A and B are shown apart, each in its own frame.
Chain A
Amino acid sequence: MAKMKTQKPVRPPLFDRIFPPRILSVGDHSVQKPRSRGWLIALVVIAAVWGSVVVTEFNLGIIVKRGHQFTVILAKIFNPDWSYFSNVLSPLLDTIKMSVMGSVIGSTLALPFAVVASANINRSGAAVAILRVLLNVVRTLPTLVIASICALIFGLGTFAGTVAITVFTFGIVSKMLYESIETIDMGAFEAMEALGASKFQAFWSAVFPQILPTYLSHCLYSFEINIRAASILGYVGAGGLGILINERVGWRDYEGLGTVLIALFAVVLLIENTSQYLRRKLS
């Protein structure tokens, strides 16, 4: 090679420049032992905790004094009112439908965006960076906020919830997907491009089969999360179990709340186990 890379001397981190490492020597050998950073980390953590305690008015005394209130409510929740179950069924199905539709639409939309946002397929660094920032911004929006805005735009009901779940799924699936696209073997893709295949053809037959199992696994994972996320969306008027949760708590009917939660628990358990079984098969 004509040009040798000049090795830049590695600059030690700021901490080591302020507190230079101790030099331990045995005979004519010597090693640098960096000073412990433990006390600095401890100091930061203590300061953060102290600041948080002041801001949040943390007071353990309240819990000790009024803790029995909590056990009273818990006892009622674990003594569910089964006659209420007939009212739970329809919103429960709504919640499941919302998360199915949201997961499917969201993860379908995520596929093209994730492909364009992966640095090994899209060679334009600027485009990748801009797209990733946009995807990050989508991911930071809380689902409940999206749902409450959607409820204002599309009216109360399951449609608003579905849109919110779609946005949420889109955010997480596209991120997980571009991260896994970047770990695949690009040999086949390059070989096909060298043979004259278009970028899309090369992607379709060299990359897609590699990412398909991971992609499906990500979709199932997001579906697992979505069931739980969808269950509270009704709180802001977006359909599903959240409406009942809001109503039961408002009426202080904790036995009814217990029924809602137990039905949710059963569904989550069923769906998580099925999806984990399928994901094990996929990998």
Chain B
Amino acid sequence: MQKAINPIEEMYESKPRRWWFYTLVILIVAVILGWSANAIKFKGLAAKGSEVAYGIVFGITHPDTSLLFNATKDGVVYMLFETVAIAVLGTLIGGLLAVPFSFLASENIMPKWAAFLFRAFILLIRTIPSLVWALVWIRVTGPGAFCGVVTQSVCSIGMISKMYINAIEDLDTRILESLDAAGCTRFQKIRYGILPQLYANFVSTLIYRFDINIKDATTLGIVGAGGIGAALIQCINSRRWSMVGAFLFGMIVLMLVIELFSTKVRKRLARG
């Protein structure tokens, strides 16, 4: 029998060999990939496809400045403002609506079965794409920015509640016991025991969702729910590339600024 020469080699010899596991994983991935690849056939460029590609590049390098710096209701600036307005209201209302849902779906407050039911409901809200929500709400509110607000209020509930629930389930309940011992009333317990623990987390969630909602609001316009999306898609379909360039330019700048701001605020909130 051969003895191991030194501890390093000994460790090396004794490392687990799970080649069959890796082979299995690779096989499964390969099968899934092969199955998916058959649906994705590259049929070459569409008729005038290269013209479109050239148009995009041209549009982004030559944005329509008269549209970009136009302060009237048809200009990029006003449309971006409308998009932001939709996201502000949608996020705030969604955040408020999510509070009761998330308390009802937290396992440390509600019995397990009830929490599970509310969780399933929240998942259902989250699964339905926001575009579908908008298509349904448009029957109620009619086209326009108001439809976008209602849509975002509803579909923000899904993700916001999910994050709220995590915060609520991490609550330190020992604080409540000590407040009890100090003779605090129920209201005082909520004010000094629960709110300070949740506040930073909730605000951080809201700002994160605001970031997502801004991006979402730019596409809601495609179905007629206000914001910049409607005009953008029209310009793409009628191939007015320099206008497309102006819209994209405005959107990119807006979203970079908002993201910068939101990361900064969230970092400060996390530090306390």
Contacts and interface: CB of A to CB of B under 8 A. Distances in A.
Interface string B236-258: 11010000000010011001100
B93 to A, nearest CB: 9
Interface in A144-165: 144-145, 148-149, 152-159, 162
Contacts, number: 168
A66 B150 CA distance: 13
A265 interface: yes
Contacts of A94: 39
Interface of A: 48-49, 51-53, 55-59, 62-63, 66-67, 69-70, 73-74, 77, 93-94, 96-98, 100-101, 104, 136-137, 140-145, 148-149, 152-159, 162, 228, 231-232, 235-236, 242, 245, 249, 257, 261, 264-265, 268-269
B40 A57 contact: no
Interface in B26-54: 32-33, 35-43, 45-47, 49-50, 52-53
B89 A144 contact: no
B219 interface: yes
Given A55-B81, A142-B215, 19 more contacts: A52-B88, A55-B85, A56-B145, A57-B145, A62-B141, A73-B136, A100-B32, A104-B33, A140-B256, A144-B222, A144-B229, A145-B248, A155-B43, A157-B43, A158-B39, A159-B42, A162-B40, A236-B222, A245-B135
Shortest Cβ-Cβ A-B pairs, 4 listed? A155-B46, A52-B85, A56-B145, A97-B36
B233 A56 contact: no
Nearest to A52: B85
B23 to A, nearest CB: 17
A67 B140 contact: yes
A156 B219 CA distance: 19
B137 interface: yes
Given A56-B149, A142-B218, A236-B233, A100 B36 contact: yes
Contacts of B131: 144, 232, 235, 242, 245
B52 A74 contact: no
A154 B45 contact: yes
Given A63-B150, A236-B233, A70 B42 contact: no
B169 interface: no
A152 B86 contact: no
Given A145-B219, A145-B232, A235-B222, A153 B46 contact: yes
Contacts of B236: 145, 148-149, 152
A73 B215 CA distance: 27
Contact of A56 (B42, B86, B137, B259): B86
Nearest to B138: A249
A59 B46 contact: no
A102 B50 CA distance: 22
Interface of B: 32-33, 35-43, 45-47, 49-50, 52-53, 56, 81-82, 84-86, 88-89, 92, 123-124, 127-129, 131-132, 135-137, 139-142, 144-146, 148-150, 215, 218-219, 222-223, 226, 229, 232-233, 236-237, 239, 248, 251-252, 255-256, 259
B85 A51 contact: yes
Given A97-B40, A104-B33, A155-B46, A66 B56 contact: no
Given A74-B136, A158-B40, A59 B146 contact: yes
A58 B85 CA distance: 10
Q: Is the interface of A mostly helix, strand, loop or mixed?
A: helix
A136 B89 contact: no
A229 to B, nearest CB: 8
A235 B219 CA distance: 11
A261 to B, nearest CB: 6
Contacts of A104: 33
Contacts of B42: 154, 159
Contact of A245 (B52, B88, B124, B132): B132
A97 B37 CA distance: 7
A236 B232 CA distance: 13
B146 A56 contact: yes
A161 B150 CA distance: 28
Contact of A55 (B37, B43, B135, B145): B145
Contact of A66 (B84, B140, B255): B140
B145 A154 contact: no
B53 A153 contact: yes
Contacts of A101: 33, 36-37, 39-40
A265 B222 contact: no
16 contacts: A49-B88, A49-B89, A53-B89, A56-B144, A59-B146, A67-B140, A97-B39, A137-B252, A142-B215, A144-B219, A144-B229, A148-B236, A149-B56, A159-B42, A249-B132, A269-B123
For B84, B88, B145, B237, which residue has the most chain A Cβ atoms within 10 angstroms? B88
A67 B36 CA distance: 42
B4 to A, nearest CB: 22
B52 A149 contact: yes
A154 B48 CA distance: 9
